[in-house]
Amino acid sequence: MKGLFIIFFTSLFYFTVLNLSTAADTLAASQSIVSSDTLVSSSQSFELGLFSTGNSRAWYLGIWYRNFPDIVVWVANRENPLADSYGAMMLSKNGSLVLLDQMNGTIWSSSPSKEAEDPVAQLLETGNLVVVDKAVTSSESYIWQSFEFPSDTLLPGMRLRLNFKTGPNQFLTSWKNASDPSLGLYTYKIDHLVLPQLVLAQGSKKEFRSGPWNGLRFTGLPVSSNEILKPSYVYNTNELYYIYEANDNSIITRLKLTETGEMQRLVLNKGSTEWGVMYTLQNDRCDNYGECGANSICKINRTPICECLQGFVPKSQQEWEVLNRTSGCKRETLLDCQQGEGFLKFQNMKLPDLLDFSVNNSMSFKECEAECLKNCSCVAYAKSNMSSGGIGCLMWFGELIDMREFVDEVSDQDLYIRMPASELGNSTSQKDKRVVLISVISAASVLLFLGLLCRCIVLNKRAKRKVSRSSKEDIELPLFDFHTIEIGTNYFSWQNKLGEGGFGPVYKANLRKEELVAVKRLSRGSGQGLEEFRNEVTMIANLQHRNLVKLLGCCIEGEERMLIYEYMPNKSLDFFIFDQNRKKLLNWQKRFDIIMGIARGLLYLHQDSRLRIIHRDLKSSNILLDRDLIPKISDFGIARIFEHDQTEGKTKRVIGTHGYMSPEYTIDGKFSVKSDVFSFGVLLLEIVSSRKNTGFNQPDHNHNLLGHAWLLWNNNKGLELIDPCLEYSYVDNEVLRCIQVGLLCVQKLPTDRPAMSSAVFMLCNEGATLPEPKEPGFFTERSSIDNKTLTGGARSHTGLTLTISTLEAR
């Protein structure tokens, strides 16, 4: 009896508030649609209402093609279905759409960007459900729209978007199965901030990627799709998004991510009753991500389909013989940056994945080739922009992953891969003759060049000066005139000041030909002096890595000591992650890229550089970000050189930054590669959480950030550490792996911490088995006094009192 009363009351309520024809496309404030009532777009293309699927008893609010009711393109309450068909969607007076069950409980509601005075909801002919405020006359008056919350279908005019300011990121998520529209295993989204590409993934594992946008299209998508589609992407300070429109009005098209992880382009000729599959992104085995491993090309018309690049051989011949090619290929002859190296052209290519790369959109194609050739780490290059005359340079460093050759259509995308001289001479006899001729001409040119160079050295010898006479080897750098720097910095004006560190203030300067540089000026009151100045010059002049800041020169006049660096337009990492608004500009993928960049730079310092460097002051303010947000480790003033057989150093003058220094360095003055690893671990946890280790406060305990992360990890609540602003961009397993690596790096004992090579491996490999972290350093709750004096001088840690002669906090 009670149930009948509820149904009767609910039906009476619906009848009272409903004043709507099922053919209407609009819904006014306080109106509702219930049960079988629907909204229908003006030209009858789309319909909105309640539906159920398959054998499921659950009901959902969604949008479908009116002539194809089984093709649902949007679902509102994916994770919270109605138990039955007794539901109602109504528009509140403030402009919020609300889905109610028969007990008037809220099942789902929209979140309008602002409250409306006179709201109305409308289902547009595009399939977009929008809420507008009739009291606002602006054409951009949507206060909410379903297009900002895609399900598994991308319609024309809908965006895949990275939103840098407000609102959610937009990407497709598959249904769980054909009868359950809740979130499935697969996503399809924009993968890269600097050079966008589309990626289909299962969790954090890439299944397919489109290849980077080249100004006209995504390099790995079929060229034929452009016959009916007009794709484009927009990149500005607010957002980056991909969008497409149909070129032919007689064709209806949609992009669907299936529950089995297939991305299908479907088309329908107007008047037809059957949809056709124009293409599936995973159309053949070569579309599978990394099918042939590194440095190998997938050729679908060959048997076998995987082929090592010229000059490369399988890493595991045994695996290749049993048709397992995922281990990829390695160079038969290693590159040594010697004269004679050049490039082989590979046509109609899907460009390699953007794992370790750089892009310069203002560089010509010839300049791109020259830049790659002079950079010993550059292994391949291509045009980054095929529009506007092909201006733009894309270069790869490291292994080349996920390449394929297109054979049935011309993609106009060429890739140039670096080869040793021996491989360039193996192509054809004609090419041999050409190489000999070029060699003769080159030899003559080199002799002429050397003569001119000697002349230039004599003329410019006065313009260079040895800046480190106390070091084991003299290093020469371009010497900048003080007056030139003074003018370039507008006489060191505060408007040009970028910041200040232990060395002194840093200024932006415009020295020549509109070239911006950063000038670090040694302050007379600086805690550092000439020793640190010479140390930094000695260190960084010998280091070359894309994740280390580049030293351009110095200035020595009287008591003035200045270092001139490449200018970093995006300042430092702490400028972003610790600011409530700017941190939203760094989504999870970009943060992960920054983490990997820092890790690779630190690995180079510890293992791969000619000098083995211990940085000793790795922190967020010393991670600079270039125009493309690529991280650069900076500030080598207190760094130390180790002999390659040296494992540890000791000092009585402990210089560093509270919160980043390891226990053994803070307490005993001992430093090693493991003290840098500790700093990296702190930095990693700060990047994940957007919170500082120093000054960290939590209501339920007095631990620092490291202790807080450790407590969450032990309680299986690791994901609670992540910054809430990353909610729509992160992948659970990837974040948890980063947190676990961070905790491994900040373990109390140096012997327990991984080397940077192991840290990089664990971060890069989803399948790697990671050990459980032990207790972090300084895992002791602070007293209230400690909290207030956290940034003060020497104090006790974990029951021990510092006995170092000097401790300088920076």
Asked if residue 435 has pLDDT above 60, the reply is no
CB atoms within 10 A of CB 53: 18
The two structure tokens encoding residue 39: 């909204």
**pLDDT at residue 702 in the model:** 81
**pLDDT at residue 294 in the model:** 93
Cα(602)–Cα(625) distance, rounded to whole angstroms? Answer: 15
Cα(143)–Cα(132) distance, rounded to whole angstroms? Answer: 6
Residue 62 near residue 72 (C-beta atoms within 8 A): yes
The answer on 67 and 216 residing in a single domain is no
Helix (H, G, I), strand (E, B) or coil at 245: strand
CA 746 to chain centre: 24
Q: How confident is the model at residue 698 (pLDDT cuts 50, 70, 90)?
A: confident
The answer on 84 and 11 residing in a single domain is yes
- Up-side HSE of residue 101: CA atoms within 13 Å toward CB? 13
CB atoms within 10 A of CB 716: 9
The answer on 104 and 75 residing in a single domain is yes
The answer on 688 and 578 residing in a single domain is yes
E strand segments, 577-682: 612-614, 623-625, 631-633, 640-642, 649-650, 653-656, 670-671
Q: How many residues in the chain?
A: 810
Q: How confident is the model at residue 445 (pLDDT cuts 50, 70, 90)?
A: low
Cα(295)–Cα(105) distance, rounded to whole angstroms? Answer: 57
Residue 379 near residue 443 (C-beta atoms within 8 A): no
The answer on 335 and 449 residing in a single domain is no
The two structure tokens encoding residue 457: 């050295």
For the ranges 321-330, 514-523, 753-762, 792-801, the one whose mean pLDDT is highest: 753-762
The two structure tokens encoding residue 422: 């021996």
The answer on 757 and 614 residing in a single domain is yes
The candidate with the shortest Cα–Cα distance to 201, out of 538, 507, 589, 540, is 589
Catalytic residue among 37, 101, 617, 626: 617
Residue 344 near residue 416 (C-beta atoms within 8 A): yes
Cα(736)–Cα(732) distance, rounded to whole angstroms? Answer: 6
Residue 504 near residue 560 (C-beta atoms within 8 A): no
Asked if residue 786 has pLDDT above 60, the reply is no
Cα(602)–Cα(52) distance, rounded to whole angstroms? Answer: 54
The candidate with the shortest Cα–Cα distance to 789, out of 663, 654, 694, 691, is 694
The answer on 405 and 339 residing in a single domain is yes
DSSP per position, 182-194: EEEEEEEEE--SS
Mean of pLDDT values over 462-488: 62
Q: Residue-wise over 126-137: b if at least 16 C-beta within 10 A, else e? A: bbbbbbbbeeee
CATH number reported for the structural domain that contains residue 352 in this entry: 3.50.4.10
Asked if residue 259 has pLDDT above 50, the reply is yes
Q: Which residues pair with 36 in a beta bridge?
A: none
Domain that holds residue 798: 573-809
Identify the domain boundary among 507, 531, 566: 566
Cα(729)–Cα(190) distance, rounded to whole angstroms? Answer: 10
**pLDDT at residue 229 in the model:** 78
**pLDDT at residue 222 in the model:** 62
Number of H helices, E strands in the chain: 15, 49
Cα(61)–Cα(89) distance, rounded to whole angstroms? Answer: 8
The answer on 329 and 373 residing in a single domain is yes
**pLDDT at residue 431 in the model:** 44
The answer on 477 and 488 residing in a single domain is yes
The two structure tokens encoding residue 536: 């930094």
Amino acid at 116: A
- Encode pLDDT of 158-207 as tens digits: 999 888 776 678 999 999 988 899 999 999 998 866 788 899 999 888 99
The two structure tokens encoding residue 202: 């299962």
Q: How confident is the model at residue 433 (pLDDT cuts 50, 70, 90)?
A: very low
**pLDDT at residue 476 in the model:** 59
The candidate with the shortest Cα–Cα distance to 133, out of 38, 22, 29, is 29
The rounded mean pLDDT for the chain is 81
The candidate with the shortest Cα–Cα distance to 3, out of 103, 74, 97, 144, is 103
Residue 107 near residue 84 (C-beta atoms within 8 A): no
DSSP secondary structure letter of residue 376:
T
Active site includes 668?
no
- Encode pLDDT of 713-766 as tens digits: 999 999 999 999 998 788 889 999 999 999 999 999 999 999 999 999 999 888
The answer on 20 and 137 residing in a single domain is yes
Helix, strand, coil content of the chain in percent (nearest 5): 25, 30, 45
Asked if residue 290 has pLDDT above 70, the reply is yes
Q: How many domains does the chain have?
A: 6
The answer on 711 and 734 residing in a single domain is yes
Mean of pLDDT values over 407-427: 74
The answer on 318 and 208 residing in a single domain is no
